[in-house]
């Protein structure tokens, strides 16, 4: 599937990177106050509570969930449970700019997953663009010294982001290419009133299901973190406000926009919009944390933008 990006779709897909930039900066601010895995569980617990008034009807038919639990558990774990947990873990040892720039290599993983699992083969322009994006990511990992790549030792934050990015690529493709039991006449349905006609899940019901299954992983990981002796949270108005932000903006609003963007433009196109996150992060980090970008951050972003430009040409077979 391919689509022509209009202004409305472009604006729609600009919202998630802006909100995710704020999430990265706040995640850094909360280091030492809220343990990272606990932060992830609280974030999605808040998002789930906010979604309940909109999507509660999906809970009327638990059989629809149980019949699809394996797929839904994997979808929720990749998109809700794992991705953000690993990002918050990365922010303990890395800066928001580094984390978001490494995550900007997402188009590479989108192409790899699409080719290996969904038989969507990229053309030369897509491969060239992905290579440029990957070069930008490598520059960040090397901290601006390309020669250091031969002796590079990954810090834990770098590895967490790489794993999270690969998981997010699988999640995005799963949204774009749902299995047969989530498409057409076989897709799950709900009723707006008892005995009324059935209809497919809307966006709030779909996201609520992902959150509920994702909380299985998120709450379990937070429980292990607390069991291992995580420091108690120093509750304050600022901490509560930060939790409300990450639960409403980067979770609820951003995921809604991302899902719609993937549906309209496909995961590959959406991934390139995700590369706006480092720009927004650099601005917010400089304003709020005093962590301005280094020269190599600018060079890395230039490579990533070049990758977007190269990849925007037609493929041998259009990516969805």
What is the H or E stretch that residue 67 is in? none
Identify the band that residue 94 occupies on the pLDDT scale cut at 50, 70 and 90: confident
pLDDT average, residue stretch 116-127: 78
Strands (E), the chain: 189-191, 198-200
Per-residue confidence (pLDDT) for residue 3, from 0 to 100: 44
Give domain status of residue 1, yes or no: no
Give domain status of residue 72, yes or no: yes
91 vs 95: CA distance, rounded Å:
6
Q: Locate tokens 């005995």: which residue? A: 195
Nearest Cα to 27, choosing from 12, 38, 15, 16?
38
Mean pLDDT of the chain: 82
pLDDT at residue 4 above 60? no
pLDDT at residue 318 above 70? no
Instruction: Write out the DSSP string of 105-143.
Output: THHHHHHHHHHHHH-----HHHHHHHHHHHHHHHHHHTT
Per-residue confidence (pLDDT) for residue 2, from 0 to 100: 43
Nearest Cα to 202, choosing from 193, 192, 212?
192
Greatest mean pLDDT among 46-55, 103-112, 157-166, 196-205 lies in 46-55
Per-residue confidence (pLDDT) for residue 139, from 0 to 100: 72
Count how many domains the chain has: 1
Q: Locate tokens 């108690």: which residue? A: 232
Residue-number span of the structural domain to which 23 is assigned:
14-182+203-311
pLDDT at residue 236 above 80? yes
CB atoms within 10 A of CB 263: 15
pLDDT at residue 48 above 50? yes
Q: Which residues contact 111 (CB under 8 A, 6 or more apart)?
A: 122, 126, 127, 130, 268, 319
Give domain status of residue 5, yes or no: no
Give domain status of residue 189, yes or no: no
pLDDT digits (tens, 9 = 90+) for 266-316: 776 676 677 677 777 777 777 777 766 677 777 777 877 677 667 655 444
pLDDT at residue 147 above 60? yes
Identify the band that residue 216 occupies on the pLDDT scale cut at 50, 70 and 90: very high
| Residue 283 structure tokens | 């601005």
Contact (Cβ atoms closer than 8 angstroms) between residue 281 and residue 24: yes
Question: Which of 93-102, 110-119, 208-217 is least confident?
Answer: 93-102
Identify the band that residue 86 occupies on the pLDDT scale cut at 50, 70 and 90: very high
Identify the band that residue 127 occupies on the pLDDT scale cut at 50, 70 and 90: confident
Q: Which residues contact 6 (CB under 8 A, 6 or more apart)?
A: none
Give domain status of residue 320, yes or no: no
Nearest Cα to 204, choosing from 47, 59, 55, 50?
55
Nearest Cα to 21, choosing from 246, 307, 305, 293?
246
- What proportion of the chain, given as a percentage, has pLDDT over 70? 85
Per-residue confidence (pLDDT) for residue 206, from 0 to 100: 92
| Residue 215 structure tokens | 């909380």
Q: Locate tokens 């990758």: which residue? A: 307
Identify the band that residue 119 occupies on the pLDDT scale cut at 50, 70 and 90: confident
Q: Is 119 left (phi over 0), alpha (psi -120 to 50) or beta?
A: left
pLDDT at residue 258 above 70? yes
Give domain status of residue 318, yes or no: no
Per-residue confidence (pLDDT) for residue 317, from 0 to 100: 40
Give domain status of residue 9, yes or no: no
Give domain status of residue 195, yes or no: no
At residue 278's C-alpha, the angle toward residues 272 and 281, to 5°, is: 140
| Residue 158 structure tokens | 């770098």
122 vs 54: CA distance, rounded Å:
39
pLDDT at residue 151 above 70? no
Say which residue, 56 or 318, is predicted with more confidence.
56
Q: What is the pTM of this model?
A: 0.81
Per-residue confidence (pLDDT) for residue 84, from 0 to 100: 86
- What proportion of the chain, given as a percentage, has pLDDT over 90? 32
| Residue 153 structure tokens | 């030792």
Say which residue, 42 or 117, is predicted with more confidence.
42
Per-residue confidence (pLDDT) for residue 146, from 0 to 100: 67
């Amino acid at each position: 599937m391919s689509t022509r990006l209009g202004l409305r779709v472009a604006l729609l897909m600009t919202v998630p990177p802006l909100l995710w930039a704020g999430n990265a900066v706040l995640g850094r601010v909360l280091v030492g106050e809220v343990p990272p895995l606990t932060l992830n569980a609280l974030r999605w617990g808040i998002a789930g509570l906010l979604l309940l008034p909109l999507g509660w009807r999906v809970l009327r038919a638990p059989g629809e969930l149980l019949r699809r639990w394996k797929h839904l558990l994997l979808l929720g774990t990749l998109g809700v449970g794992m991705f953000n947990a690993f990002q918050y873990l990365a922010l303990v040892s890395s800066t928001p700019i580094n984390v978001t720039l490494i995550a900007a290599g997402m188009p590479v993983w989108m192409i790899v997953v699409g080719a290996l699992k969904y038989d969507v083969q990229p053309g030369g322009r897509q491969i060239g663009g992905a290579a440029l994006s990957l070069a930008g990511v490598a520059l960040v990992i090397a901290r601006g010294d390309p020669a250091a790549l031969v002796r590079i030792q990954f810090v834990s934050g770098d590895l967490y982001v790489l794993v999270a990015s690969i998981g997010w690529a699988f999640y995005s493709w799963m949204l774009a290419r749902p299995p047969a039991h989530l498409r057409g006449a076989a897709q799950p349905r709900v009723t707006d009133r008892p005995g009324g006609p059935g209809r497919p899940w809307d966006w709030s019901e779909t996201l609520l299901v992902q959150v509920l299954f994702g909380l299985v992983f998120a709450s379990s990981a937070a429980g292990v973190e607390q069991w291992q002796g995580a420091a108690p949270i120093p509750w304050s108005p600022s901490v509560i406000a930060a939790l409300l932000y990450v639960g409403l903006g980067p979770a609820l609003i951003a995921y809604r926009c991302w899902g719609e963007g993937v549906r309209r433009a496909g995961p590959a196109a959406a991934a390139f919009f995700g590369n706006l996150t480092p720009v927004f992060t650099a601005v917010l980090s400089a304003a709020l944390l005093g962590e301005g970008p280094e020269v190599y951050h600018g060079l890395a972003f230039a490579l990533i933008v070049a990758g977007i430009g190269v990849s925007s040409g037609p493929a041998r077979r259009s990516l969805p």
